Homo-oligomer: A and B are copies of this chain.
Amino acid sequence: MLALDEARARILGALSPTPAETVALPEAWGRVLARPVLARLTQPPADVSAMDGYALRAAEARPGARLRVIGAAPAGRPFGTALGPGEAVRIFTGGVVPDGADAILIQEDAEEAGGLVTPREAPAQGRWIRRRGLDFAAGDTLLPEGRRLSARDIGLAAAANHPWLTVRRRPRIGILATGDEIALPGEPIPAGGIVSSNAHALAAMVRAAGAEPINLPIAPDDRDAIAAAAAAAHAADMLVTTGGASVGEHDLVQAALGPQGFALDFWKIAMRPGKPLIWGRLGRTPVLGLPGNPVSALVCAVQFLLPAIWVLSGLPPAAPPTQPVRAGAPLPANDRRFDHLRASLGTDRDSRFVATPFPVQDSSMMATLARAEALILRPPFAPALAEGAEVEAILLDRLGV
């Protein structure tokens, strides 16, 4: 059996980022930069005021002095003339500091009457002036290649005068559910059958990770049907199958794909739930075969599919982020399989997360899975832990999963 980390490393090592595309700035949120964003201008473009008040010479702004207000410099409308002796200019936040001025008297410290302004407090030289280039200078690298763009980054790219950004194309993930026994929601259900849930949960996960799902028609347990459906996935950056990955004789995904020149591996991974996994390549398309049990499929998707989408999106290889939590119940010692306990999440008196595993961990239970807010991680041979001990957990809501 393969260790979980080793399986993930082999999957991620086989993947490359999607090609670049150019998108309009508002479409770039959450996307990963394929080229760095350089400042196209200097910000602020000149020395500007940080406050509403009066631009003047600090040396002349003694309390009680009377300075002549010769004009105004609102943001966007610079006052064109230099200040002479004894003069001041009304200025507003973002307004360009006129030549000759070296400080801003904030309006709370000023009295204006009859075209004259009188300081109540003397401003220090340079006070309340934002220097040209304080934020950034033309040519500065503001956002590096490989960065996933936050809302703040979008604002920064806008401020740096970029109407377009070059990002990685959203990975297209083909999703293929297999099995005679499954039907789409709302469609006739075969005798003894169930409604397909994995493909929909996986499609939502793919969206949550910023990729684009392609939901392929359900393939019955028949070699030709599976192979035909898989062929339809050639346009995808990755094909994900669900079902057909266990060792039973009805598990045909492997058998159907293998003989057609597809390089497929079958792995048993030392993890619970979800040990059987198919991994390989269909032409140039990577194929990830997940188990059919809903919980197994989800846990494998969190551990392998999400990181795979991140790499396809242009992000570095990484495991899903974890959070230290306190165990809400004693945890038994673990065997050789990396375990993922479905758990509810609360907080203790010190506002620390407490994750409490559900008593039944059956891998067919969707309702329990939906209630689970965390997966408590139990590495191979982890020792027994008392209630309250610290363990690592994956918080599912944080991943949109």
Contacts and interface: CB of A to CB of B under 8 A. Distances in A.
A26 B315 CA distance: 26
Contacts of A134: 362, 364-365
B159 A197 contact: yes
Given A158-B197, A200-B25, A152 B192 contact: no
Interface string A60-76: 00000000000000111
B155 A96 contact: no
Nearest to A352: B324
A248 B93 contact: yes
A118 interface: no
A25 B156 contact: no
B197 A156 contact: yes
Q: What number of copies of this chain does the assembly contain? A: 2
Contacts of A364: 44, 50, 94, 130, 134-135
Interface string A18-33: 0000000110011000
A346 interface: no
A113 interface: no
A293 B351 contact: no
Interface string A285-329: 000000011100010000000000000000000000000100000
A17 B24 CA distance: 31
A174 B150 CA distance: 20
Interface in A210-238: 213, 215, 221
Given A92-B250, A155-B204, A76 B192 contact: yes
A216 B208 CA distance: 28
A295 B292 CA distance: 48
> Is the contact region of chain A dominated by helix, strand, or loop, or is it mixed?
loop
Nearest to A208: B151
Nearest to A90: B249
A146 interface: no
A15 interface: no
Contacts of A46: 192
A362 B131 CA distance: 12
A204 B362 contact: no
A135 B185 contact: no
A41 interface: yes
Nearest to A96: B192
A366 B155 contact: yes
A184 interface: yes
Contacts of A179: 75-76
A139 B21 CA distance: 48
Given A159-B195, A248-B92, A365-B135, A182 B76 contact: yes
B43 A194 contact: yes
Given A135-B364, A208-B29, A370-B150, A93 B142 contact: no
B198 A369 contact: no
Interface in A143-160: 143, 149-160
B76 A180 contact: yes
Interface stretch (A119-127, A330-338, A393-401): A393-401
A142 B370 contact: yes
Nearest to A291: B93
A236 to B, nearest CB: 16
21 contacts: A29-B204, A30-B207, A30-B208, A50-B364, A52-B248, A75-B180, A75-B193, A77-B181, A92-B250, A93-B246, A93-B248, A95-B192, A136-B366, A151-B205, A152-B298, A152-B401, A155-B366, A158-B195, A159-B194, A159-B294, A163-B186
Nearest 4 CB-CB pairings of A with B: A76-B181, A155-B201, A163-B186, A151-B204
